[in-house]
Each structure stands twice: as structure tokens, then as C-alpha cells.
Structure 1
Amino acid sequence: MVDVAQSNKPNSPLVPVLGLSFFAVASGFLMSLIPLSLSANDLPSALAPWLASVFYFGLLTGAFFIQRVVAKTGHRIAFIVFLLLLTLTVALQVMLPQVTSWIIARFLAGIAVAGVFVVVESWLLMTDTAKARAKRLGLYMTSLYGGTAVGQLAIKPLGTEGALPYLFVIGLLLLAVLVPLLIKGGQPDNHHSQPLKLSELKSLSRPALMGCLVSGLVLGPVYGLMPLYIAHTDYAPNTGLLMAIIILGGMLVQPLVSFLSPRCSKRLLMAGFCVIGGLSVSGIAWAGELSVIMGCYLLLGACSFALYPIAITLACDNLPGSKIVSATEIMLLSYSVGSVIGPLLAAYVSVATNGLPVYLAVCLIATSLYMLLNSNRRMPANDTQVADI
């Protein structure tokens, strides 16, 4: 085992961020690879929304017990276990390209990814100040979305046929596993981690829960259905590029989110991003030039991926460190509910022309109205300790 100087510091961000970077490239590529490789594996294209939903159902299932796994094993070992589980699911898809096996694999992958998210988020959020939490979460989101954007660019050189693209994903996930294996220090003190009591759940910010829910309602279809939507438009040759631009928008907005989140109303911040996101979706549906389309996809990514970090920092404001793992688990649960429902709802309306953009616009505009109504009440600067609608 190798110790890195920084990893010896209590709760160092080195291991989660470095491991997450490899994970993000792999999952970003896999996100678009799965729906685009269905025909090459003799699987029906109608399976795509079901694979997306069962993945997020796995995410939802995992959110119920991950806190106990982390509390028992510690962050580092849990990180290794969940990454290895995800690697095994990808191998299962390569070995058994069948409907049933892929559905099972994506369900287990959802559980594994839920574990990765809760481990990394709680690892980074277990610090003393709201400003430090926002900064670390911005670093987390930048690594996640930056890696995911890079992963999208692998579609063109590696293609979507055969085992090679999936073996590339497996290789990246094994590199992610090596990080916590080789760097054994720097994890937070976990023996004080405590679950939230039922009475404490009622005090969690409802706008925070709503922000995570809508993030799932939007990002589930973006991940699972947007590649197919683009592939059926005039911009089909640019599917990988446009998906990468969406993720790039999510990465580029994170420093702005980190700066604004501790300094202004998080409710108003989410409302503003939702309004801009709704307008960008209109551009996607009706703009006629590639440069305009690219700009709209960039804005959609920025606004869609801004919701979750703002909501989760709102939820964790004023929480003691011992409750952070449990709080991130609950926020992930809310996100997962939206992610399970989102692809199915979007698939239902997508039979119409521009059905997916219309669905996304409705979700974002409705959320902005909710946040604006909620922000009308007088609030302290940190957006907590106020009665929510």
C-alpha cells in the first residue's frame, strides 16, 4: 500500500476526487454506449427507457442501505466494494447480451453507483463550514461532469459495436479501484456516523428534496433518452459531441454554483437556473443552426446539473457531521425517485415531435415557479430554519 502525504490528512479529498475522475469517464461513456449499442447486440431500442429506469430503481434501492454499509466498513472500503460491483455489471452485459441479463445488470449497477455517490459526497461534505462544503462539492461536481464529458468523446473512436467499448469501460473502472487500494489514508472518521431520526427527517428542507427530485426527473431522461433523441434529428452525426457539450455545461457551471451557493438564497438560485434551462430547451426544439443548438445544449447541461449540488448543500446546512452520510443518502433517495419516473414519463410523451424537450421544459419551469413561491417567505442567509411550502 502507498501513502500519499495529502492522504494522511483527516478527510482528504484526494482519494474520492481522483477515483471519481476515472469512474466519471467510464460512466459517461457507458451512459451513451448502452442505448446506442442495443441494435448491435440484437436488443430492441424500446428497451432503452426501461434500462434507464431500472438503473435508477437500483439507485433508489441502494439509497436505503448504503449508510449502514459505509458506517460498518468505512468510506475507503465501501468505495472499493461499490466500484468492483459496478465493474462486474459491465462484464455481465458483455458476456450475456440478453434483455433479462441487461436489466439485472443495470439494476445492480444502480445500487453500485448509489454507493459511489453517497461515499464520495459524504466523504467530501464531512467538513465544518458551509463554505468549505460548497467548495468541495464544486470540486466533486467538476470532476464528475468533466470526466463524464470526456467519456462522451470516446463514442466516435471506439464505436458502439462489439466488446471493445465495454472492455474500455471495465479498464477505467479498475483504475478507479486502484486509487483507494493504493492510497489508504485520508478518509473521514466514520464511527460517529448516525442515521437521521424520523423526527429529524421532517426538518429537512423541502425545497432541497424537491431540487433533488427534479434533478432526477430531468437528468434521468437526459442520460437515458437524449442520445436517442439526438440520433433521430438532423444532428445525428454529432450525437457524441452534443452529449459531451451537455456534460461540459454541467462541469463549467460548478465554480459559479460554488461561489453563489453560500452567498445567496439557494431557492432563488435553483429558480433562476430552472428558468434558463427551460428557455434553452425551447432553443433545442426549434433552433435551426448547429452553433445555436450547441449553445442551447450547453445551457441545458449547466442548468440541469446545477440543481443537485445546490439542493444537497441546502439540505446539509446546519447539520452536524455525524448526520451528513444519512442526509446525502436521503437526498440521493429523492433524486432516485425522480430518475426512476423521469425516463418513463419522458418516453410516454416522446412519441410526439419534440416530446422530450417539451417534457424537460415543463419540469424546469414548474420547478422555478415552486422555488419562487417558496422564496417569498423571509429567510435567513443560509436558506435554513424556515417553514417550507
Structure 2
Amino acid sequence: MTATRQSGGIFVPVAGLAIFAIASGYLMSLIPLTLSFFALPASLASWLASTFYLGLLIGALLVEKVVARIGHRMAFVSFLLLLAVTIVMMPLVPEQLTWLIARFVAGIAVAGIFVVVESWLLIGDNKKERAKRLGLYMTALYGGGTLGQFGIGFIGVEGLLPFASILGLIALATLPALACKQSQPACEQHISLSARQIFALSKPAVLGCFVSGIVMSSVYGLLPISLQMQNLTAEQIGGLMASTVLGGMAIQPVVSALSCKMSKTLLMAAACLLGIFATGLMSLIPGYSIMVVGLALLGMSSFALYPIAISLACDELDSSVIVSATQIMLFSYSFGSVAGPLVAGTFLEQEHGLNNFFFVALASTAVYMLMVSLKQKPQIVAG
């Protein structure tokens, strides 16, 4: 397939991603909250989340060929349009099977968007530059996701207007790529990772992506409905979801800076420990204000894992295999994302159930990362 050694300008992928993230953030929280309006069972929420991430999983295996055939720019536009089709389907045919199919296809489309943008920004041989671009990518993704949460209160969760608003944002996200035809990086021969190279990828990086998928899919897929079960209003839920995603955005500059200066496995362990503290805080001390702080800290923890892990995976790789590597990392993330909502759904009926689930996932990961970091040589980089 083809890839590039130069970013070809980062405005197009970052601008398109930021607008897409606003739409996606709103949509992810909207879906579990609008089920009752369309007379669909609340139990469908976990299946919709897992089906979406199953699509993400399958899509992660297909994206590389699409980028090879039509290039980064048109692949980005194509995947956005495919996502738009699924958004049209849902309110027009409010049936369980239709929604499951729509979310599966949406997962494939979003996998394409993520791999295209990540590889576009990560291609380059300078580790420090890669870390900066990845930090910009995650900031745009989570910043847009934060803004999207406010759609719950401002636009609502009932009727056609929320879906129409999201559809408009998706259309807007295609404009930078359509308008800037020369933005696509110059192409050169690109190499897919062999099976041996795939198995040689950093194990902590693969696990970090996997656990990130478990936690983040549960945050997006089940946290809104968990908060709804606590009799919170739509505005309160929107505020709490925004706090979670804002925490994830706020930590990105810190992650970008520290990932170049210390062991990434130790950094992932620290992120997990922050999440453990957040779950304990919310379980032990009741109150809305505590939830705002706790979910912001949980967002910092869970949203930090993926960029650290993918940066670790790409550290020693040549630019020619970056697209393939990001595809493998997304596959690991997606595999965790499929399992996350299904397992987390069994915790919902318990008191502090979702918090308990996050605690178990993050605590076990922290122990593993600490064990790995203890076996490594100190990795402190000056500057």
C-alpha cells in the first residue's frame, strides 16, 4: 500500500477530526438516552455499544486496503459519508435489528476515520514530533467530544433534531478534506507488518490499547445510562459526560510531554492508579460535585492509556509501517471495546457497579505495567 514520510499539513485531518468528534461525542451519549423515546429497551444499550465496537474491530482489518487504493484524503471523506448513512437509518427505522446493523457499520466507518487520521499524523521518523502530533490528535478528539456532550442539554435527546444536528456536523467535517485537495501527503511505497513483526510489537502497548478499549467503550456506551439510573437529569448527565471527556482532553499535553521523558509502561501504570483513586473517591463520597471531579479524573486516566500505548508501539518503527501498526493497535483497542460493555453491563445492577468494573480493569492493568516497568532499565530522557 502507500504511505508518507511527511504529514502533508496537519490542518485537514485535525480540523475534520475535531468537527467529527463533536458529532461523535453527542451521538455516543445520545444513543442510550434516546432508546425510550423510540420505544426500544434499555437493555439494548450494551448490545449497541458492543456491536459498534465489533464494527470497529472488523474495520480495523479493512482500512489499510482502502487507504492504499484512494489515499488518506478521500478515505477520510468516504468513511465520514458512510457514517452519515448510518445516522440517517436510525431515526427513520427505529427497530432493534436496524439499529444494531447501523451501529456495526458505523463502527467500520469510525475505524477508518481513526486509522486515517492517526497514520496521517504519526508518519514521520522523529519520536518527539510524533508525540506532539498525537497529543494534538487526542486534544482535538476529546475537545470535540467534550463540546458534543453539551448537545444533550442544548438540543435534547428526543425526536429527529438530535440526529439531524449530528448529520450536519458530519457533513461539515468533510469540508476541510474536500476544500484542500493538495493537503494529502505525497505517497511512497509502504509495507504491511508481517505476522512475525506483529507478534514482536510491544506487549504493554497492545495491552494498553486493549484496556483502553474496555474502559472507554464502557464510558461512552454505559456511563450515560448508569447516570440516568441514578435519576439525574439530561443536563446533569451531559455535564458529567463533558467533565469526563474534558478530563481526557486536559491530560493530553501532560501525556505528550511525559511520554518523551520517562518509561511509557510506568506512565500507563500511573494513569491507571489515577483512575483507581477516582473510582474510590466516587464510591466513598456521594454528591454531584464529587462526581464531577471523580469523572474528570477517570477521564484523565482512561483517555491517557491509548495515546501512550500507541506511541510506545510506534517508537521503534519506520514510517513505512505506521499505517499497518496503527491498524493493529486499533484492532486491539476494538477487541477490548467489544468485551467492555458486555462485561460492564453485568455490573450495572450493583451499587457503584460501573465504578467497581473500572476499578477491577484499571487495578489489574496497573499491577502488570508496574511489573513490566520494574524489569526495564531506567528510561529518563533529558530535555
TM-score (norm 1): 0.94
1:130-145 to structure 2, matched below 5 A, reads 130-145=127-142
Partner of 1:353, secondary structure, is: coil
Relative to structure 1, is the Cα distance of residues 382 and 106 closer, same or farther in structure 2, using a 3 angstrom cutoff? farther
Match of 1:52 among 38, 49, 56: 49
**Is it true that 1:82 corresponds to 2:73 in the alignment?**
no
1:202-213 to structure 2, matched below 5 A, reads 202-213=199-210
Match of 1:284 among 282, 285, 288: 282
1: CA distance, partners of 2:262 / 2:305: 15
**Does the 8 Å contact 2:7/2:123 carry over to 1?**
no
- Offset at 1:226? 0.1
1: CA distance, partners of 2:171 / 2:255: 31
2: CA distance, partners of 1:339 / 1:317: 24
Partner of 1:161, secondary structure, is: coil
Q: Which residue of the partner structure matches residue 191 of structure 2? A: 194
2: CA distance, partners of 1:29 / 1:225: 14
**Is it true that 1:161 corresponds to 2:152 in the alignment?**
no
**Aligned letter for 2:326?**
T
**Does the 8 Å contact 1:85/1:109 carry over to 2?**
yes
**Is it true that 1:68 corresponds to 2:59 in the alignment?**
no
Instruction: List alignment gaps of at least 5 residues for structure 1.
Output: 1-8, 384-389
**Is it true that 1:35 corresponds to 2:32 in the alignment?**
yes
Relative to structure 1, is the Cα distance of residues 375 and 339 closer, same or farther in structure 2, using a 3 angstrom cutoff? same
**Does the 8 Å contact 1:15/1:186 carry over to 2?**
yes
Match of 2:148 among 146, 151, 155: 151
Relative to structure 1, is the Cα distance of residues 10 and 131 closer, same or farther in structure 2, using a 3 angstrom cutoff? closer
**Is it true that 1:312 corresponds to 2:310 in the alignment?**
yes
1: CA distance, partners of 2:378 / 2:51: 40
Q: Which residue of the partner structure matches residue 106 of structure 1? A: 103
Q: Which residue of the partner structure matches residue 325 of structure 2? A: 327
- Offset at 1:293? 1.7
Question: Residue deviations 1:109-141, cap 9 Å, x none?
Answer: 000000000000000000121100000000000
**Does the 8 Å contact 2:7/2:124 carry over to 1?**
no
1:220-259 to structure 2, matched below 5 A, reads 220-233=217-230, 235-237=232-234, 238-259=236-257
Q: Which residue of the partner structure matches residue 6 of structure 1? A: none
Partner of 2:58, secondary structure, is: helix
- Offset at 1:291? 2.0
**Does the 8 Å contact 1:271/1:367 carry over to 2?**
yes
Match of 1:170 among 163, 167, 170: 167
Question: Residue deviations 1:169-221, cap 9 Å, x none?
Answer: 00000000111011112322344222101111121000000000000110111
**Aligned letter for 2:350?**
A
- Offset at 1:380? 6.6
**Aligned letter for 1:266?**
K
Relative to structure 1, is the Cα distance of residues 189 and 381 closer, same or farther in structure 2, using a 3 angstrom cutoff? farther
1: CA distance, partners of 2:187 / 2:58: 22
2: CA distance, partners of 1:340 / 1:377: 31
Q: Which residue of the partner structure matches residue 91 of structure 1? A: 88
**Does the 8 Å contact 2:7/2:120 carry over to 1?**
no
Q: Which residue of the partner structure matches residue 379 of structure 1? A: 377
**Aligned letter for 2:137?**
Y
**Is it true that 1:16 corresponds to 2:37 in the alignment?**
no
**Aligned letter for 2:128?**
K
User: Where do 4+ consecutive residues of structure 1 move more than 6 Å?
Assistant: none
- Offset at 1:10? 5.1
**Does the 8 Å contact 1:75/1:190 carry over to 2?**
no
**Aligned letter for 1:222?**
V
Q: Which residue of the partner structure matches residue 4 of structure 1? A: none
Counting matched residue pairs gives: 375
- Offset at 1:233? 1.6
Match of 1:363 among 358, 361, 367: 361
1: CA distance, partners of 2:273 / 2:324: 31
**Aligned letter for 1:132?**
E
Q: Which residue of the partner structure matches residue 295 of structure 2? A: 297
Question: Residue deviations 1:360-383, cap 9 Å, x none?
Answer: 010001100000001111337399
1: CA distance, partners of 2:46 / 2:286: 27
Partner of 2:262, secondary structure, is: coil
**Aligned letter for 1:334?**
S
Relative to structure 1, is the Cα distance of residues 166 and 229 closer, same or farther in structure 2, using a 3 angstrom cutoff? same
2: CA distance, partners of 1:143 / 1:344: 28
2: CA distance, partners of 1:60 / 1:325: 16
Match of 1:273 among 271, 274, 278: 271
1: CA distance, partners of 2:25 / 2:9: 25
2: CA distance, partners of 1:351 / 1:42: 21
Partner of 1:349, secondary structure, is: coil
- Offset at 1:234? 5.1
- Offset at 1:289? 2.7
Match of 1:215 among 212, 217, 220: 212
Q: Which residue of the partner structure matches residue 3 of structure 2? A: none
Question: Residue deviations 1:134-186, cap 9 Å, x none?
Answer: 00000000000000000000111211111000000000000001110111123
- Offset at 1:309? 0.1
